[in-house]
């Protein structure tokens, strides 16, 4: 790992943003948009992969898929 503190910070930020909710399961927060989650996941995946010495392209792909799929995960705010 090249920089585990950067990777841990990025992961903490992602988890904090994923927890945003208005208490009713649906929020007008821009983070609840499928496109924003997909692009955000790609960016976060690339940063984490770079910080841990992996391929940024592969990290971006995995992050984009995870961000897009997160719209259907029970317990997370639904996407609009």
Q: What is the pLDDT of residues 10-21, one digit of tens each?
A: 766 666 555 555
Token code pair at residue 23 = 């208490």
Flag whether 55 is in a domain.
yes
Flag whether 51 is in a domain.
yes
Flag whether 25 is in a domain.
no
CB-CB neighbours of 46 under 10 Å? 22
Flag whether 77 is in a domain.
no
Residue linked to tokens 């940024």: 56
Flag whether 48 is in a domain.
yes
Residues 68, 21 contacting (CB under 8 angstroms)? no
Flag whether 47 is in a domain.
yes
Instruction: Domain of residue 62: give its range.
Output: 4-17+30-72
Provide the number of structural domains found in the chain: 1
Long-range contacts of the stretch 23-30 (C-beta < 8 A, 24+): 25/77, 25/78, 26/77, 26/78, 26/80, 27/77, 28/80, 29/77
pLDDT per residue as tens digits for the range 19-75: 555 555 555 666 677 888 888 888 888 888 888 888 888 988 888 888 888 888 888
For residues 6 and 34, the model is more confident at 34
Flag whether 11 is in a domain.
yes
Flag whether 60 is in a domain.
yes
């Amino acid at each position: 790992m090249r920089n585990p503190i950067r990777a841990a910070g990025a992961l903490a930020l992602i988890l904090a943003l994923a927890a945003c909710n208005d208490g009713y399961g649906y929020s007008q927060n821009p983070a609840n948009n499928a496109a924003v989650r997909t692009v955000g996941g790609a960016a976060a995946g690339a940063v984490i992969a770079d910080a841990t010495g992996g391929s940024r392209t592969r990290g971006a792909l995995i992050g984009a898929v995870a961000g897009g799929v997160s719209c259907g995960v029970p317990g997370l705010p639904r996407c609009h």
